Amino acid sequence: MKNKYKWLTMIGLVTLGMASVSVTNPEADPLPNILLILTDDQGYHDVSYYGTSDLRTPNIDQIAKNGIRFDEFYANCPVCSPTRAALLSGSYPDVVGVPGVIRTFPEDNWGYFNPKEPTLPAMLSKKGYQTAIIGKWHLGLESPNTPNERGFDYFHGWLGDMMDDYWAHRRHNINYMRENNKVIDPEGHATDLFTTWSQDYIKKQAKSKKPFFLYLAYNAPHFPVQPPKEWLAKVKAREKGIEEKRANLVALIEHMDDGIGKVVNTLKDEGLYENTLIIFTSDNGGHLPSMANNGPVRDGKQSMYEGGLRVPACMSWPGRIKGGRVSNQTNLSMDLYPTLLQLANVEPKNIHGRSFLPTLLNENQIMVVEERDLYFTRREGGKEYGGMASYGLRKGKWKLVKNSPHKPMELFDMESDQLEKNNVIDQNPQVYAELNKLLMKHIQEGGSVPWQKPQ
């Protein structure tokens, strides 16, 4: 079923066959290292490269300045686990068993990452990559869905979902901090720990001749919003009159940005910077109760409106990518999978994502309109969802939204109504019928995949 998703390609550079483009010469050009930085609940405009006046993220901004900024980058879901599943599988999250959030207790768990899906690190390892995840996993708490069993050579971080405290590192009073399979109990703010562990990993890999793939997944700035005191004081001193909630979020993001800068500087110190592709993005839109800034788009985390799905994204590769570029190409989290595999000359099989490597590598790339339907699913429990799902479907200029299982469908013309203010479903019954039919087919495909652990 997955091959039903088709697209048009970039003129003159790539064809539908992933193996049709050789990006590197394995005998002459060393494969690049890959640093993939994923933040948690960072708002679309909670980066200062968009001119956000109360926040400063110089290190994230530098990635954008040195490479390419994607202004229409989407998370695969407005919540955590599904986007992470899409990123690591190259497919829609419900189709790989993760339509909702994976949690500690079975009655509140809405996903089971299909163990048969080949993951990004497992595929990259075929080309000799050393693979590591440092930070938040959130795709399973036990075998066979632990990081070391799903393709990562090394895991140093947090097995679960959110932390109840950034210093205590507990969830439901359970310690999910691990080094590979070993339970550890380190001291310090989680952001600082993940930064330091990433620096240590890079220093170790600098001694190896093999390329590495480092997936650095910060918990920040997910609530509880707990920045170090000195960072909060710095923000309050600079931003006179800033609201307390906003000050805390800004401080937590700026503290994380400082950590990102330290990791990038370690690449420079070890002589690895020029040949490292650095990717920065977030797993979903910003959390509005924490006063996240999602820019001009509607709503935030958990929502199928743009504010729940649109995320900041930028990428640099000093040795290959010309800096200062901005792209309006629409890409999703799952597109990183085929993009990175094409970079390593590995051909993925039977996925929904499509590579945007030509956009990265060619500053004069001629683009054509993509014929690709984009699906978004989120299943959840509780009174608001009752075990049912919300949906989004984007086809051309049209966007079909069911933002709650208990609310009717809405239709928006995204060319004339990017803020999703005017529901035009009654005026366009044929469009609604067409999109609804497509959505039902996708729901059937996702529904054929178990999302509960087999008993």
Secondary structure (H, E, C), 61-105: HHHHHHCEEECCEECCCCCHHHHHHHHHHCCCHHHHCCCECCCCC
DSSP β-bridge partners for residue 171: 174
Query: Which pair of tokens denotes residue 198?
Result: 């990433």
pLDDT reported for residue 443: 97
Q: Which CATH homologous superfamily contains domain 2-361?
A: Alkaline Phosphatase, subunit A (3.40.720.10)
> What is the H or E stretch that residue 339 is in?
helix 336-343
Residues 6+ apart with CB under 8 A from 157: 133, 134, 135, 136, 137, 177, 178, 194, 197, 217
Residue 278 pairs in a beta bridge with 35, 316
Q: What is the pLDDT averaged over residues 310-336?
A: 96
CA angle 117, 74, 445 (to 5 degrees): 40
Q: What would the 3-class secondary structure string for 264-290 be?
A: HHHHHHCCCCCCEEEEEEECCCCCHHH
- In DSSP notation, 159-196 reads -SS--S-TTT--BTTB--EEETTEE----S-HHHHHHH
Q: Is the fold of 2-361 the same as that of 374-447?
A: no
pLDDT single digits (tens) 206-229 = 999 899 999 999 999 999 999 999
What's the average model confidence in pLDDT over 277-298?
A: 98
Residue 19's pLDDT is 34
Averaged confidence pLDDT in the chain = 93
25 CB-near residues (< 8 Å, 6+ apart): none
Residue 53: is its pLDDT beyond 80? Answer: yes
pLDDT over 90 percentage in the chain: 89
Name the strands in the sheet holding 310-311, side by side, starting at the edge strand that comes first in the sequence.
310-311, 73-74, 331-332
pLDDT at residue number 368: 52
First to last CA, the chain: 26
Note whether 208 and 272 are within 8 A (CB): no
Q: Report whether 284 contacts 75 (CB < 8 A).
A: yes
Q: What is the pLDDT of residues 66-123, one digit of tens each?
A: 999 999 999 999 999 999 999 999 999 999 999 999 999 999 999 999 999 999 999 9
Q: Is pLDDT at 8 greater than 50 in this prediction? A: no
Read off the pLDDT band of 3 (50, 70, 90).
Answer: very low
The predicted model scores a pTM of 0.94
pLDDT at residue 17, rounded to an integer: 35
For the segment 15-24, what is each residue's pLDDT rounded down to a tens digit? 333 333 445 5
| DSSP secondary structure letter of residue 335 | G
| Kind of pairing between the strands at 130-136 and 212-217 | parallel
In this structure, are residues 370 and 7 in contact, taking their beta carbons and an 8 Å threshold?
Answer: yes
Is residue 26 over pLDDT 50?
no
Q: Quick: pLDDT tens for 416-450.
A: 999 999 999 999 999 999 999 999 999 999 999 99
**Catalytic position from the list 45, 77, 138, 169:** 138
Residue 30 has a pLDDT of 85
pLDDT digit string (tens) for 332-383? Answer: 999 999 999 999 999 998 999 999 999 999 866 555 546 799 999 999 999 8
Q: Which class is 374-447 in CATH?
A: alpha beta
Q: Indicate whether 11 pLDDT > 50.
A: no
Fill in the amino acid letter for 21: V
Q: Which of 80, 169, 189, 222 is catalytic?
A: 80
77 catalytic per annotation: no
Give me the residue label for tokens 């699906």.
375
Q: Is the pLDDT of residue 27 over 90?
A: no
pLDDT at 402: 98
DSSP state letters, 406-431: TS--EEEETTT-TT-----TTT-HHH
Asked if 214 and 198 touch (Cβ cutoff 8 Å), the reply is yes
Residue ranges covered by each domain of the chain: 2-361, 374-447
